[in-house]
Structure 1
Amino acid sequence: MSKQGNIRIASENMMPIIKKWLYSDKDIFLREIVANGVDAITKFRKLADMGEAQTSEEEYCIKVSIDKDAKTLSVEDNGIGMTEDEVEKYITQIAFSGAADFLDKYEKADGDGIIGHFGLGFYSAYMVSENIEIFTKSYRDEPAVRWESDGESTYTIEPCDKETRGTKIVMHIADAEKEFLDEGTISTLIHKYCGFMPYNIYLNFQGKDDKPLNDPQPLYIKNPKDCTDEEYKSFYTKTFHDFQEPLFWIHLNMDYPFRLKGILYFPKVKNKAELERGQVKLFCNQVFIADNIKEVIPEFLTLLNGVIDCPDIPLNVSRSFLQNDREVQKISRHITKKVADKLTGLFKNDREKFVQCWNDISVFIKVGCLKDEDFYSKVKDILIFKDLNGEYKNLDEFLGVVPESETAEEKRDEEKKPVSVYYVSDEVGQSQYVNMFKNAGLNAIVCDTFVDPHFISFLEYKNPEKWKFMRIDADIDSALKDGEVNADDFKDLTESFKNSLKNTSIAVKAEKFKSADVPAIINVSEFTRRFSEMNAFYGLAGGDADRDMTIILNTENPVVASFTGLNDEMKKFVANQIYYIAMLSYKKLNPEELKDFSDNSMQLLKNYIG
């Protein structure tokens, strides 16, 4: 015969678990207690608006006070207050949310602004307290109540002489948590967790001249039409302590199909270290939740600085919940779309400003494309590159592609072959190749950020029929050559040159350049170099591209042309000097090569002086 029953949990066993594991960060207790005070004030104001409570001229506010002698930290509000029955219901019954109960009762009224999503928040205070007292007086004409508990399974409740409406929570701080009796610590926590809460918050209130620690009307909750550029810049500096002005910003403000407010700022980003300093603060009804929650904010957007407020997201939920919540996914996609729309609009409507900002935002955009395919699909046509002439163009503009109709493109699909896009990764270090390109009337794009090696591979993967990227030292374009040469005609030259080199692993090849100025250049295939860079990036073997280097001799250069007529000793001297000169345009010489090059150069100077 089967039986059914209720599982019983002993409260004396449950409380230590709640006190220890309720939150991962202990200091979050202050957020929870202050948020309860905000809820209490909001509830009272709603009742007053409906004519169910009498108001006064007093300022709605929350006062936080520290008494080091008594070892107490207190938080007091002048909100709705509680009767004895309500204290029994909302405080002694764990996880019974007063906010939820209030909304159920007044569901026809506007529920915006009620923070509470659950009833455990109050008990977070026991993570730092050995005992807690509550002094509360309801807006109703009922006696004030004092409640006290050490956080175990018992409590005391009795009448008290509190005269003013509202609730005061007195936390007796445990000896091991004395840091929470420090005014600087509490001030920092208020700024962090409660900086934008909707009512003034005072610390150790002395009188009407005191200034609140928070900003109850942060810029992001206002209508974008009512905000000035100076206000945006001031809010950025104050919130993120960055005194360098942002490039531009996006003000998010929507109520349907979900509620979302916020401002995203584009800071100046030029290197990887700066890229990792981004900070997007997530709020719920002006209550801080966390920084850079990738389940809500697309990962690449954490490169920005910003504030996002989503009232529909609970204050404390697991990341697995956020990952699987459809509303959260919609919010994430919407934020991505708004960022893409802003960038696209700037490109189309103010190309000059877009170009001016490009060096600062290009890394962010490229990382965004690598991380988020939807983002790439929205911004792919505004990806621009600087060319050797200093002009900024997207790849179609750079290649001079004329847009075709979709039908024409479909007919040509099978005939299409990827076009070679030459690029330079170091304009100074690769200046010899750059000059050769310019002299031949060729152009190349500049890809010199740390993300570019990954980004060009990504573009090739996404557009296999359109582009093939080649670094300018990876191949000799036909425009640089004055026709093709027969390798057999220069076999004596290449073999003699190779036998004269100290570097025995390098291959030697001869070509006829249009310019006679350059004696030789170093060549490593694009595939070999990229494979080498990838292995080096991941710390794998096979990261040495030098083993597959080729030195290409220019048969039009007079020094090269006369090489075979030199004696063996002079061949060694000239061959290695030509090799060193070519290498200096490709990469740094190793110490042994640098010494040999220096000695040879000094010998040439001595011979010249005579």
Structure 2
Amino acid sequence: MTVKTGSISIDAQNIMPVIKRWLYSDKDIFVRELISNGVDAITKLKLIQSLDKDEELKITLTLNKEKGTLSFEDNGIGMTQEEVEKYINQVALSGAEDFVKNYTQAEDAGIIGHFGLGFYSSFMAASHVTIDTLSYQEGAEAVRWDSEDGIAFEIKSGERSQRGTLITLHIAEDEKEFLETHRIRQVLNKYCAFMPVPIYFVDAAEEAKKNDEKTAPTPINDTNPLWFKPPRECTDEEYIETYHKLFHTFDDPLFWVHLNVDYPFNLKGILYFPRIRRDFAGQEGEIKLFNRQVYVADNIKEIIPEFLLVLKGVIDCPDLPLNVSRSFLQNDGQVRKISAHIAKKVADKLTGLFKTDRPTYEKYWDDIHPFIKYGALRDSKFYEAMKDVILYKTTEDNYLTLEEYQERNQDKVEKKVIYTADAARQEGQVALYRSRSIDVVVMDTIIDISFLSFMEYSSNLGENTPTFVRVDADISGLEADEEADSSISQKEMENLFRKVTGLDTLEVKLQPLQDEQLNALLTEDEQTRRFADMNALYGRELGLTQQQTLVVNPKSSTIKALVQLKDEKRKELIAAQIYDLARLATRPLEKDDLRRFLKRSQDLIAALAEN
């Protein structure tokens, strides 16, 4: 073979600066591109040639820090001189030019993937690259390709005696990080952990230290990841192990959904529902996107339904383009179908679990219910699938469906659902319902404000549509079966509490309550309070609603003593304290009110100490 030299293209001189600008934070992508080329070479060989069963087809990445090189070797199909000229000199350039063109046209589109650079990406980290290759074809000659800048090249006869290709990168002075073992392992774990061909990493310095010790090498990748296996062949232990490996966590997931779809799109993957912090606001999931086991990107939110963004997992979808923008994902019909399928599979998983293992389903409910409720608000199909298995947790830690709640309480509250937004704060009201054996459900997350209205107006439950009533909205039917103490004047109580609160519209009602320790309760109209809560949710504080009723319990020994007090100042002090305690059961006090409440508490303690 004669030596052949040339220049790839005069335009190539302008390509590398542009590529480096686009890939500044992803310069390690050359590792994925070169190893992907090796995978392709081995895959092609499998298709066209019968192989020795004892021969392992593999890719070996060797780091030699002393020589300053990083080499990629495969025993795949190899190349002839003609193929080197075609695929290296021409295709590499055209791929790079296409890359630059696409990226320049979509500068702000949020391109993910960075595929298409192929061999040319090696010059992201190398100042000098050589290729030694031998084609599988009988009688083929070894070829050596050499370039020191990615522009000028030399092709000549090579010395390689084994089928396959060896690409050697002489790492540039300003890219020495790629001569560090930990950095290369990090990159391999990021991009190549699940590629379909065994990949071995060799550190020349470590090998030299072993002397004559012989140990069987271990691939750095799993060539048959769990999501490519039929679900029936996977164990719980394997699912959990994969979760730990993917996300470097010691926590176990709550449950998972195995995706295996061939039509109308090709999709494989595993989605995990993680354990949720109590303050789940800001807790985001992570979806790793693969294409035929090659890592593309992570944090791909566009594929997952909005209400399930807490999910973690992996999706392998060859139907999605590799160099894809986020704006494309947001508007692509195929992506919307994938998102809808994921929502359906999650609903199928949960409804199946409810039917076959309700105790476990109930155990998960505290973690998952905010997302299920949000899904009901956002996705009508998801709601229809889930509506019969939406649970309501009671203050007694029972979990009831809406139908079960209505059956248990229909003779007491008809079609109402009694709820509390804070079981501890509203214990006084909850106790009144408990005394009548009426279940009180806990609705204490931010999504519940909207979910209640949705269930009342958009749940499509017909005559079973519920009305939600908070424990402090109405206590009718919960009164003690006796008349109010006639020695306590309704008018006197009304004047006293209106005076200390400064609320001329405050309605005061004398009503015996079951609990004699309960001095008073503050009730507010359900719809008016909800309106105020919704405004507060969006930062529009309206203050206390004016439609308030203070229910004063004449059975309370404190109220009886209050009436008998002659010291008007102390009487007003105690009345103001009783009112604020009733307010605290409905919502936190405002800053100034809280300051007055604490000062008043100190004054009362001091007065008691003096007596």
Same topology, TM > 0.5? yes
- Asked if 1:133 corresponds to 2:133, the answer is no
8 A Cα contact 1:18 1:123, kept in partner:
no
- Partners of 1:63 and 1:426 in 2: CA distance: 60
Structure 2 residue 600 is matched with structure 1 residue 593: no
Give 4+ residue runs of structure 1 displaced > 6 Å after superposition.
95-98, 481-485
Tell me the alpha carbon deviations over residues 102-133 of structure 1, each in whole angstroms, 9 at most, x when there is no partner.
xxxxxxxxxxxxxx997433223333333332
Letter in 2 for 1:442: I
Corresponding residue of 1:345:
352
Residues 1:187 and 1:516: Cα distance change in structure 2 (over 3 Å) = closer
**What do residues 268-327 of structure 1 show as CA deviations (whole Å, max 9, x unaligned)?**
224244872422222111111222312323233331222221122233222233334333
Alpha-carbon shift at residue 497 of structure 1 (Å): 2.7
* Partner of residue 307 from structure 1, selected from 314, 317, 325: 314
Q: Which of residues 288, 296, 303 is equivalent to 1:289?
A: 296
Equivalent residue number for residue 155 of structure 2: 157
**What is the aligned partner in structure 2 of residue 493 from structure 1?**
493
Measure, in 2, the Cα distance between the counterparts of 1:546 and 1:444.
24
Shift of residue 445, structure 1, vs aligned partner: 0.8
Does the aligned pair in 2 maintain the 1:89–1:96 contact within 8 Å?
A: no
Confirm or deny: 8 A CA contact 1:506 1:550 kept in the other structure: no
Does the alignment pair 1:577 with 2:577? Answer: yes
What is the aligned counterpart of 1:173 among 156, 159, 171?
171
Indicate which of 311, 321, 324 corresponds to 2:328. Answer: 321
- Per-residue deviation at 1:337? 1.2
Residue 427 of structure 2 is aligned to residue 431 of structure 1: yes
Bigger drift between 378-387 and 368-377 goes to 368-377
2:565 and 2:598 map into 1 onto residues whose CA distance is: 24
Q: Tell me the distance in 2 between the aligned counterparts of 1:462 and 1:369.
A: 10
* 1:208-251 CA-partner distances (Å, limit 9, x unpaired): 62222111122221122222222222222233233233332222
Deviation at 1:260, TM superposition (A): 1.9
Q: What is the deviation of 1:572?
A: 1.3
Kept after mapping to 2: 8 A contact 1:269/1:275: no
Q: Distance in 1 between matches of 2:399 and 2:189?
A: 43
Alpha-carbon offset, residue 529 of structure 1: 4.1
Determine the C-alpha separation between the residues in 2 that align with 1:463 and 1:256. Answer: 32
Aligned length: 562
Question: Partner of 1:265 in structure 2?
Answer: 272
Deviation at 1:343, TM superposition (A): 0.6
Cα distance, 1:126–1:458 mapped onto 2, change above 3 Å: farther
Separation (CA, whole Å) in 2 of partners of 1:436 and 1:94: 79
Q: Deviations over 1:391-445 (max 9, x none)?
A: 2112222122999xxxxxxxxxxxxxx9543211222121111111212333221
Partner in structure 1 of residue 98 of structure 2: none
Q: Where in structure 2 are the equivalents of 1:74-473 lying within 5 Å?
A: 74-94=71-91, 119-140=116-137, 141-150=139-148, 152-204=150-202, 206=207, 209-273=216-280, 276-400=283-407, 419-463=415-459, 466-473=465-472
Q: Residues 528 and 151 from structure 1, CA distance in 2 versus in 1: closer, same or farther, beyond 3 angstroms?
A: farther
Point out the more displaced range, 353-362 or 449-458: 449-458
1:456–1:28: structure 2 CA closer, same or farther, 3 Å change rule? farther
Q: Quick check: 1:221–1:261 contact (8 Å CA) kept in 2?
A: yes
- 1:269, 1:363 within 8 Å by CA — same for their partners in 2? no
- Cα deviation for residue 376 of structure 1 reads 2.4
2:61 corresponds in structure 1 to 64
Deviation at 1:481, TM superposition (A): 7.2
Distance (whole Å) between structure 1 residues aligned to residue 604 and residue 548 of structure 2: 23
Counterpart amino acid of 2:155?
I
Could you tell me how far 1:197 is from its partner in structure 2? 0.8
Cα-to-partner distance string for 1:451-484 (whole Å, 9 max, x where unaligned): 4334334434523872343321233344447699
What CA deviation, in whole Å up to 9, does each residue of 1:351-381 have, x standing for no partner?
Answer: 2221122122223323433444432232122
The Cα of 1:346 is off from its aligned counterpart by 0.8
Summarize the Cα distance change of 1:347–1:145 in structure 2 as closer, same or farther, 3 Å threshold.
Answer: same
Indicate how the Cα distance of structure 1 residues 22 and 233 shifts in structure 2: closer, same or farther if over 3 A, else same: closer
Change (3 A) 1:576 1:323: closer
User: 2 CA distance for matches of 1:334 and 1:552?
Assistant: 52
Shift of 1:547: 7.2
Q: Partner residue of 1:102? A: none
Cα deviation, 1:4-23, whole Å, max 9, x if unaligned, reads xxxx9944334432343368
Question: Which secondary structure does the structure 1 equivalent of 2:200 belong to?
Answer: strand
Change (3 A) 1:454 1:203: farther
Tell me if structure 2 keeps the 8 A contact 1:524–1:545.
Answer: no
Contact 1:282 1:289 in 2 (8 A): yes
Residue 309 of structure 2: SS of its match in structure 1? helix
State the Cα RMSD in Å.
Answer: 3.5
Unmatched runs of 5 consecutive residues or more in structure 2: 1-8, 96-112, 208-213
Greater shift, 238-247 or 424-433, is seen at 238-247
Q: Tell me, what secondary structure is at the counterpart of 2:136?
A: coil
The alignment's TM-score, normalised by the length of structure 2, stands at 0.82
Indicate how the Cα distance of structure 1 residues 511 and 283 shifts in structure 2: closer, same or farther if over 3 A, else same.
farther
Q: Distance in 2 between matches of 1:318 and 1:475?
A: 54
Q: In structure 1, what residue type is equivalent to 2:46?
A: R
For residues 437 and 34 of structure 1, the distance between their equivalents in structure 2, rounded to whole angstroms, comes to 67
- 8 Å contact kept, 1:19–1:126: no
Closer, same or farther: CA 507–158 of 1 in aligned 2, 3 Å:
farther
Aligned to 1:311, the other structure's residue is in SS state coil
Q: Distance in 1 between matches of 2:479 and 2:609?
A: 32
Distance change >3 Å, CA 183–CA 154, structure 1 → 2: same
Structure 2 counterpart of 1:472, one-letter code:
V
| Deviations 1:34-65, CA, capped at 9 Å, x for gaps | 111111111111112xx4xx547332211112
Secondary structure of 1:321's match?
helix
Post-superposition shift, 1:581? 3.6
For residues 189 and 516 of structure 1, what CA distance do their matches in structure 2 show? 67
> What is the distance in 2 between the residues matched to 1:451 and 1:176?
51
> Structure 1 vs Structure 2: percent identity of aligned residues?
45
Distance 1:301 1:585 in 2: 33
**1:148 counterpart letter in structure 2:** D
Aligned equivalents of 2:606 and 2:62: distance in 1?
A: 78
Closer/same/farther in 2, CA of residues 301 and 193 from structure 1, 3 Å limit: farther
Q: Distance in 2 between matches of 1:436 and 1:536?
A: 28
Match of 2:32 in 1: 31
Distance 1:574 1:367, change over 3 A: same
Q: 1:62, 1:200 within 8 Å by CA — same for their partners in 2? A: yes
Greater mean alpha carbon deviation, residues 559-568 or residues 300-309:
559-568
Report the Cα offset of residue 520 of structure 1.
0.7
SS in 2 for 1:423: strand
SS at match of 2:168: strand
Question: Does the residue aligned with 1:552 lie in a helix, a strand or coil?
Answer: strand
Distance between the aligned counterparts of 2:546 and 2:158, measured in 1? 86
Q: Give the whole-Å Cα distance in 1 for the aligned partners of 2:268 and 2:575.
A: 67
CA distance in 2, matches of 1:124, 1:480: 79
Paired residues of 2:511 and 2:551 also in contact (CA < 8 A): no
Bigger mean CA deviation after superposition, 505-514 or 68-77: 505-514
